[in-house]
Protein backbone atom coordinates (compact mmCIF):
# COMPACT_ATOMS: atom_id res chain seq x y z
CA UNK A 1 0.00 0.00 0.00
CA UNK A 2 1.29 3.48 -0.86
CA UNK A 3 2.52 5.65 2.00
CA UNK A 4 2.20 9.41 2.41
CA UNK A 5 5.33 11.36 3.34
CA UNK A 6 6.00 15.05 3.95
CA UNK A 7 9.04 17.30 3.79
CA UNK A 8 9.87 20.86 2.83
CA UNK A 9 12.31 23.74 2.58
CA UNK A 10 14.83 21.73 0.57
CA UNK A 11 16.16 24.82 -1.22
CA UNK A 12 17.78 22.60 -3.84
CA UNK A 13 20.44 24.53 -5.75
CA UNK A 14 20.54 27.37 -3.21
CA UNK A 15 24.21 28.14 -2.57
CA UNK A 16 23.55 30.26 0.52
CA UNK A 17 21.32 27.64 2.23
CA UNK A 18 24.34 25.94 3.80
CA UNK A 19 25.49 28.97 5.78
CA UNK A 20 22.08 30.61 6.15
CA UNK A 21 20.43 27.53 7.70
CA UNK A 22 23.60 26.05 9.28
CA UNK A 23 23.54 22.92 7.13
CA UNK A 24 26.42 20.42 7.52
CA UNK A 25 27.41 20.11 3.87
CA UNK A 26 30.63 21.04 2.09
CA UNK A 27 28.91 22.23 -1.08
CA UNK A 28 25.53 22.79 -2.69
CA UNK A 29 26.02 19.70 -4.84
CA UNK A 30 26.71 17.62 -1.72
CA UNK A 31 23.63 19.07 -0.01
CA UNK A 32 21.39 18.32 -2.99
CA UNK A 33 22.76 14.79 -3.39
CA UNK A 34 22.29 14.00 0.32
CA UNK A 35 18.68 15.21 0.35
CA UNK A 36 17.84 13.32 -2.86
CA UNK A 37 19.38 10.17 -1.38
CA UNK A 38 17.37 10.54 1.82
CA UNK A 39 14.13 10.94 -0.12
CA UNK A 40 14.91 7.89 -2.24
CA UNK A 41 15.87 5.82 0.83
CA UNK A 42 12.48 6.43 2.49
CA UNK A 43 9.94 7.18 -0.20
CA UNK A 44 9.00 4.44 -2.66
CA UNK A 45 8.21 4.95 -6.31
CA UNK A 46 4.45 4.51 -5.72
CA UNK A 47 4.33 6.54 -2.49
CA UNK A 48 3.25 10.19 -2.38
CA UNK A 49 5.53 12.95 -1.14
CA UNK A 50 4.08 16.29 -0.07
CA UNK A 51 6.67 19.04 -0.29
CA UNK A 52 5.62 21.97 1.84
CA UNK A 53 7.40 24.64 -0.17
CA UNK A 54 10.71 26.14 -1.25
CA UNK A 55 11.58 23.09 -3.31
CA UNK A 56 14.27 24.99 -5.18
CA UNK A 57 15.99 28.32 -5.00
CA UNK A 58 15.54 31.20 -4.72
CA UNK A 59 16.43 31.21 -8.37
CA UNK A 60 16.11 33.19 -11.59
CA UNK A 61 13.65 31.02 -13.52
CA UNK A 62 14.30 32.76 -16.82
CA UNK A 63 17.83 31.24 -16.85
CA UNK A 64 18.18 27.91 -18.63
CA UNK A 65 20.76 26.39 -16.20
CA UNK A 66 18.34 26.99 -13.31
CA UNK A 67 15.45 25.31 -15.11
CA UNK A 68 17.66 22.41 -16.18
CA UNK A 69 18.98 21.89 -12.65
CA UNK A 70 15.43 21.89 -11.23
CA UNK A 71 14.30 19.33 -13.80
CA UNK A 72 17.36 17.12 -13.18
CA UNK A 73 16.78 17.30 -9.43
CA UNK A 74 13.14 16.27 -9.81
CA UNK A 75 14.11 13.44 -12.18
CA UNK A 76 16.58 12.11 -9.60
CA UNK A 77 13.78 11.71 -7.05
CA UNK A 78 12.24 8.32 -7.80
CA UNK A 79 8.85 9.04 -6.20
CA UNK A 80 6.35 9.50 -9.02
CA UNK A 81 3.90 11.72 -7.09
CA UNK A 82 5.12 14.92 -5.47
CA UNK A 83 2.49 17.43 -4.37
CA UNK A 84 3.80 20.95 -3.78
CA UNK A 85 2.43 23.39 -1.21
CA UNK A 86 3.87 26.51 -2.75
CA UNK A 87 6.41 28.49 -0.69
CA UNK A 88 7.78 31.99 -1.09
CA UNK A 89 10.63 30.78 -3.36
CA UNK A 90 8.46 28.60 -5.62
CA UNK A 91 7.63 30.57 -8.77
CA UNK A 92 4.06 31.29 -9.77
CA UNK A 93 2.77 31.24 -13.31
CA UNK A 94 5.63 29.15 -14.73
CA UNK A 95 4.13 26.02 -16.25
CA UNK A 96 7.49 24.34 -16.73
CA UNK A 97 8.04 24.50 -12.95
CA UNK A 98 4.50 23.38 -12.08
CA UNK A 99 4.86 20.34 -14.36
CA UNK A 100 7.51 18.96 -12.01
CA UNK A 101 4.69 18.14 -9.57
CA UNK A 102 1.51 16.07 -9.53
CA UNK A 103 -0.33 19.15 -8.20
CA UNK A 104 0.42 22.50 -6.59
CA UNK A 105 -1.54 24.23 -3.82
CA UNK A 106 -1.24 27.37 -1.75
CA UNK A 107 -2.76 25.60 1.25
CA UNK A 108 -4.05 22.05 1.60
CA UNK A 109 -6.11 20.41 4.30
CA UNK A 110 -7.63 16.96 4.46
CA UNK A 111 -8.65 14.27 6.91
CA UNK A 112 -6.18 11.50 7.64
CA UNK A 113 -7.28 7.95 6.88
CA UNK A 114 -5.79 6.50 10.05
CA UNK A 115 -6.37 7.09 13.74
CA UNK A 116 -9.15 9.48 14.66
CA UNK A 117 -9.32 10.89 11.13
CA UNK A 118 -7.91 14.19 12.30
CA UNK A 119 -7.72 17.09 9.93
CA UNK A 120 -4.21 17.95 8.76
CA UNK A 121 -3.72 21.56 7.66
CA UNK A 122 -0.67 22.18 5.47
CA UNK A 123 0.73 25.60 4.67
CA UNK A 124 4.25 26.74 3.87
CA UNK A 125 3.87 29.42 6.53
CA UNK A 126 3.31 28.68 10.24
CA UNK A 127 -0.25 29.52 11.30
CA UNK A 128 -1.17 30.60 14.82
CA UNK A 129 -4.82 29.53 14.43
CA UNK A 130 -5.80 26.99 11.78
CA UNK A 131 -8.96 25.28 10.60
CA UNK A 132 -10.14 22.68 13.12
CA UNK A 133 -7.71 23.75 15.86
CA UNK A 134 -10.46 23.60 18.50
CA UNK A 135 -11.32 20.04 17.45
CA UNK A 136 -7.76 18.74 17.51
CA UNK A 137 -6.69 19.41 13.92
CA UNK A 138 -2.98 19.10 13.22
CA UNK A 139 -0.86 21.69 11.41
CA UNK A 140 2.39 21.17 9.51
CA UNK A 141 4.39 24.05 8.07
CA UNK A 142 7.79 25.03 6.78
CA UNK A 143 9.40 28.43 6.15
CA UNK A 144 10.90 28.89 9.64
CA UNK A 145 13.74 26.33 9.34
CA UNK A 146 13.26 25.32 12.98
CA UNK A 147 13.69 28.85 14.33
CA UNK A 148 10.30 29.15 16.06
CA UNK A 149 8.92 27.10 18.94
CA UNK A 150 6.32 24.45 18.23
CA UNK A 151 2.79 25.39 19.26
CA UNK A 152 0.28 22.77 20.37
CA UNK A 153 -0.42 20.30 17.58
CA UNK A 154 1.73 22.05 14.99
CA UNK A 155 5.31 21.51 13.86
CA UNK A 156 7.85 22.50 11.24
CA UNK A 157 8.31 19.63 8.76
CA UNK A 158 11.17 21.23 6.84
CA UNK A 159 14.38 19.29 6.24
CA UNK A 160 16.27 21.33 8.83
CA UNK A 161 14.10 19.80 11.57
CA UNK A 162 13.99 16.19 10.34
CA UNK A 163 17.53 15.11 9.46
CA UNK A 164 17.20 16.36 5.86
CA UNK A 165 14.69 13.57 5.14
CA UNK A 166 10.93 13.17 4.71
CA UNK A 167 8.77 11.91 7.57
CA UNK A 168 5.79 9.56 7.23
CA UNK A 169 2.57 11.51 7.71
CA UNK A 170 1.13 8.78 9.97
CA UNK A 171 4.20 8.98 12.24
CA UNK A 172 3.97 12.77 12.28
CA UNK A 173 0.27 12.59 13.20
CA UNK A 174 0.97 10.06 15.96
CA UNK A 175 3.49 12.48 17.47
CA UNK A 176 1.23 15.52 17.20
CA UNK A 177 -1.90 13.84 18.55
CA UNK A 178 -0.15 13.20 21.89
CA UNK A 179 0.02 16.94 22.45
CA UNK A 180 -2.74 18.94 24.10
CA UNK A 181 -5.14 20.89 21.94
CA UNK A 182 -3.95 24.43 22.56
CA UNK A 183 -6.56 26.92 21.34
CA UNK A 184 -6.75 30.43 22.72
CA UNK A 185 -8.94 30.56 25.84
CA UNK A 186 -8.71 34.25 26.60
CA UNK A 187 -10.43 36.33 23.93
CA UNK A 188 -9.25 39.64 25.37
CA UNK A 189 -8.49 42.07 22.59
CA UNK A 190 -4.76 42.46 21.99
CA UNK A 191 -5.02 44.48 18.81
CA UNK A 192 -6.36 48.01 19.05
CA UNK A 193 -9.82 48.85 17.78
CA UNK A 194 -9.49 51.19 14.79
CA UNK A 195 -12.00 53.44 13.10
CA UNK A 196 -11.86 51.82 9.64
CA UNK A 197 -9.77 54.55 8.05
CA UNK A 198 -6.48 52.83 8.74
CA UNK A 199 -5.54 55.40 11.35
Instruction: Tell which residue, 106, 169, 129, has the closest CA to residue 157.
Output: 169
Instruction: Identify whether 187 is part of a domain.
Output: no
Left if phi > 0, otherwise alpha if psi is -120 to 50, otherwise beta: which for 45? alpha
pTM for the complete prediction? 0.93
What's the rounded Cα separation, in Å, for the pair 144 and 26? Answer: 23
In a domain? residue 169: yes
The confidence score (pLDDT) of residue 101 equals 97
Domain-located, residue 37? yes
Q: What is the pLDDT of residue 63?
A: 84
Residue 191 domain-assigned (yes or no): no
Please report whether residue 181 resides in a domain: no
Show Cβ contacts of residue 90 under 8 Å, excluding neighbours closer than 6 positions. 53, 54, 55, 56, 57, 84, 97, 104
Q: What is the spatial distance between Cα 39 and Cα 165, in angstroms, rounded to a whole number?
A: 6
Range of the domain at 41: 4-176
Q: In which residue ranges of the chain is pLDDT below 50?
A: none
Strand, helix or coil for residue 177:
coil
Residue 114 is predicted with a pLDDT of: 66
User: Residue 158 maps to which CATH number?
Assistant: 3.60.21.10
User: Measuring CA to CA, how many Å separate 38 from each of 16, 28, 151, 159, 172?
Assistant: 21, 15, 27, 10, 17
pLDDT value, residue 113: 77
Is there a domain that residue 184 lies in?
no
Please report whether residue 83 resides in a domain. yes
Domain count for the chain, please give it: 1
pLDDT 10s digits, 78-113: 999 999 999 999 998 889 999 999 999 999 999 997
Amino acid sequence: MATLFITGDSHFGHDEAITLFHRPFASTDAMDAAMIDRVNERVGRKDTLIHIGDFFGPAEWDRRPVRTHAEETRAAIRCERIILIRGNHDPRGIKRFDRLFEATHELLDFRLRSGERERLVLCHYPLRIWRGLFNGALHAHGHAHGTIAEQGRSTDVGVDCWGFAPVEVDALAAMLRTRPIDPPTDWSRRQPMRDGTGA
